[in-house]
């Protein structure tokens, strides 16, 4: 299919497209998964496909396929769809600047070369890690590695090709006897720098420590969110409001807030497609716009929304390189790149006299993505007393608002973690409403 990408671009022009874009993606991933402590299956996935955007009279049509036999038909349909649509006055054009920055750390030859036996070895290490902690056992988990290739071509001269690798490991554990408690841990990386044994052990430690949770009184208190919990809230309750498409359509809680103070003055947030070895790092975004480092919040002040080329054209600004696709079969839309939370770091638990530490949350996706309101169930939560974790809390509901939360941040830990593309330390927020 790769060989046909250039041909498909020509076909689109011949079919009457004024502008056209070919997005080719191929991926091969291998995973080894376990249930309890026994390896259950090994999986190999091969995917490859092409997505076509065709523009006629300022209107865009999109079609995709993974079948060579259907390619020509698919190209024609993309053009025919564009013809159905009325001229879109907000359409400016496909990207044209093809000068790309150098990025590093996103392709690891070793990951590409891993044999199945090695994958099995890493999965076994995850399981062994959980066994280090008596009284717990893994319920499920696995190791996965993947290699991807992406090619973007358009009629404005964009041509960019990139290969990347990724490995991931995850493990879910449960306590064996007495009070039931669960926990999980995971890591995603571009190379094999993951300590698989430690991931298994961490999860088991946490499950064991979470047993016999107490009830606490409904109150307003300091809550420290572990990077897992905090990134969930950012992604579901804050990120949608930074999406320029939502801003332009009246669906963002940050409309009209540019250059306004929206957060604690010590908070900075960056969106960065260039981070060394970042999960969202790439020389360009998914429509061929060069990746960049964008300041989203500087010292508490909102500096920029996030744009793909369409929303940027509509607003008369430059794309921030946030054109993103989940697959070759979807057209681009605005998505986060590496999203970095920066706040002065300290020994966070030690500097907290009383409050709650929350490792993970469930239900973040139920947040109101416009108003920023959320109500989530905290898991593996602990009370904090005099600068130390005190007792596990069985069940805890945390309600709040993402925008209020930004203003009430009072501290960050040293434990910066890459949770997929979100890079954040633990964050302390004052005055959170909790019901135990």
Report how far residue 173's alpha carbon sits from residue 136's, in angstroms, rounded to the nearest whole number: 7
- Binding status of residue 182 toward another protein by CB under 8 A: yes
- Binding status of residue 226 toward another protein by CB under 8 A: no
Out of 212, 362, 404, 414, the residue judged to bind another protein by CB under 8 A:
362
- Binding status of residue 47 toward another protein by CB under 8 A: yes
- Binding status of residue 174 toward another protein by CB under 8 A: yes
Which of residues 4 and 277 has its CB atom nearest to another protein in the complex? 4
Q: How far is the CB of 229 from another protein (least distance, A)?
A: 13
Which of residues 180 and 353 has its CB atom nearest to another protein in the complex? 180
Which of residues 241 and 294 has its CB atom nearest to another protein in the complex? 241
- Do 148 and 167 meet the contact criterion of CB atoms below 8 Å apart? no
The token duo for 297 is 């919040």
Subset of residues 237 to 266 that bind another protein, contact rule: CB under 8 A: 249-251, 253
Out of 373, 389, 391, 430, the residue judged to bind another protein by CB under 8 A:
373
Which of residues 293 and 391 has its CB atom nearest to another protein in the complex? 391
Q: How far is the CB of 218 from another protein (least distance, A)?
A: 7
- Binding status of residue 430 toward another protein by CB under 8 A: no
- Binding status of residue 113 toward another protein by CB under 8 A: no
Q: How far is the CB of 144 from another protein (least distance, A)?
A: 10
Q: How far is the CB of 242 from another protein (least distance, A)?
A: 15
Which of residues 227 and 253 has its CB atom nearest to another protein in the complex? 253
Report how far residue 129's alpha carbon sits from residue 111's, in angstroms, rounded to the nearest whole number: 22
Phi, psi of 81 (to 5 degrees): -60, -40
- Binding status of residue 295 toward another protein by CB under 8 A: no
CB-based contacts of 414, cutoff 8 Å, min separation 6: 345, 346, 347, 348, 425
Report how far residue 399's alpha carbon sits from residue 112's, in angstroms, rounded to the nearest whole number: 44
- Binding status of residue 370 toward another protein by CB under 8 A: yes
Report how far residue 16's alpha carbon sits from residue 219's, in angstroms, rounded to the nearest whole number: 64
- Binding status of residue 137 toward another protein by CB under 8 A: yes
Out of 4, 42, 301, 416, the residue judged to bind another protein by CB under 8 A:
42
Count of residues interacting with another protein (CB under 8 A): 74
- Binding status of residue 2 toward another protein by CB under 8 A: no
- Binding status of residue 365 toward another protein by CB under 8 A: yes
- Binding status of residue 66 toward another protein by CB under 8 A: yes
CB-based contacts of 257, cutoff 8 Å, min separation 6: 302
Q: Which of 217, 342, 336, 365 is nearest to 272 (CA)?
A: 336
> Angle at Cα 408 formed by Cα 405 and Cα 413, nearest 5°?
95
Report how far residue 133's alpha carbon sits from residue 301's, in angstroms, rounded to the nearest whole number: 45
Subset of residues 376 to 405 that bind another protein, contact rule: CB under 8 A: 376-377, 379, 395, 397, 399
Subset of residues 265 to 284 that bind another protein, contact rule: CB under 8 A: none
Out of 180, 299, 326, 354, the residue judged to bind another protein by CB under 8 A:
180
* DSSP line for 301-347: EE---B--HHHHHHHTS---S-EE-SSTTS--EE---EEEEE--B--
Subset of residues 67 to 86 that bind another protein, contact rule: CB under 8 A: 67-70, 73-74, 77-78, 81, 84-86
Q: How far is the CB of 173 from another protein (least distance, A)?
A: 9
Report how far residue 290's alpha carbon sits from residue 101's, in angstroms, rounded to the nearest whole number: 7
Q: What angle in degrees, to the nearest 10, is found between the helix axes of 116-131 and 196-209?
A: 30
DSSP code, position 284:
B
Q: How far is the CB of 412 from another protein (least distance, A)?
A: 26
Phi, psi of 277 (to 5 degrees): 60, 20
Residue with tokens 């010590």: 266
- Binding status of residue 39 toward another protein by CB under 8 A: yes
């Amino acid at each position: 299919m790769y060989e046909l990408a250039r041909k498909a671009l020509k076909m689109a022009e011949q079919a009457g497209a004024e502008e056209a874009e070919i997005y080719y993606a191929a991926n091969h991933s291998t995973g080894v998964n376990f249930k309890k402590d026994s390896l259950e299956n090994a999986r190999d996935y091969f995917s490859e496909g092409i997505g076509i955007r065709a523009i006629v009279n300022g209107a865009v049509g999109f079609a995709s396929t993974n079948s060579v036999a259907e390619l020509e038909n698919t190209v024609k349909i993309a053009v025919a769809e564009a013809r159905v649509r009325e001229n879109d006055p907000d359409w400016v054009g496909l990207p044209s600047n093809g000068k790309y920055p150098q990025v590093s750390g996103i392709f690891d030859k070793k990951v590409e070369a891993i044999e199945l036996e090695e994958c099995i070895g890493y999965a076994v290490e995850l399981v062994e890690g959980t066994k280090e902690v008596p009284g717990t056992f893994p319920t499920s988990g696995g190791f996965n590695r993947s290699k991807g290739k992406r090619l973007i071509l358009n009629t404005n001269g964009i041509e960019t090709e990139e290969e990347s690798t990724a490995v991931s490991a995850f493990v879910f554990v449960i306590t064996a006897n007495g009070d039931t408690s669960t926990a999980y841990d995971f890591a995603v990386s571009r190379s094999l720098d993951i300590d698989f044994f430690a991931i298994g052990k961490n999860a088991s430690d946490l499950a064991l420590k979470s047993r016999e949770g107490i009830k606490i009184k409904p109150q307003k208190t300091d809550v420290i969110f572990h990077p897992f919990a905090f990134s969930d809230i950012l992604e579901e309750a804050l990120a949608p409001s930074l999406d320029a498409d939502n801003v332009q359509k009246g669906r963002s809680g940050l409309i009209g807030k540019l250059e306004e103070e929206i957060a604690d003055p010590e908070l900075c947030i960056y969106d960065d497609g260039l981070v060394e070895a970042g999960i969202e790092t790439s020389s360009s975004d998914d429509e061929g716009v060069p990746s960049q480092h964008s300041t989203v919040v500087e010292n508490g002040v909102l500096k920029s929304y996030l744009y793909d080329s369409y929303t940027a054209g509509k607003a008369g600004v430059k794309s921030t390189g946030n054109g993103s696709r989940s697959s070759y079969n979807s057209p681009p839309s605005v998505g986060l790149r590496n999203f970095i939370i920066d706040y002065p770091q300290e020994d966070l638990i030690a500097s907290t006299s009383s409050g709650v530490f929350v490792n993970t949350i469930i239900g973040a996706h139920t947040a109101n993505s416009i108003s920023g309101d959320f109500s989530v169930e905290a898991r593996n939560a602990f009370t904090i007393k005099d600068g130390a974790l005190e007792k596990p809390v069985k069940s805890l509901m945390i309600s709040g608002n993402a925008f209020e939360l930004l203003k009430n941040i009072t501290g960050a830990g040293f434990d910066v973690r890459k949770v997929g593309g979100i890079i954040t330390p633990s964050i302390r927020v004052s005055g959170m409403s909790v019901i135990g």
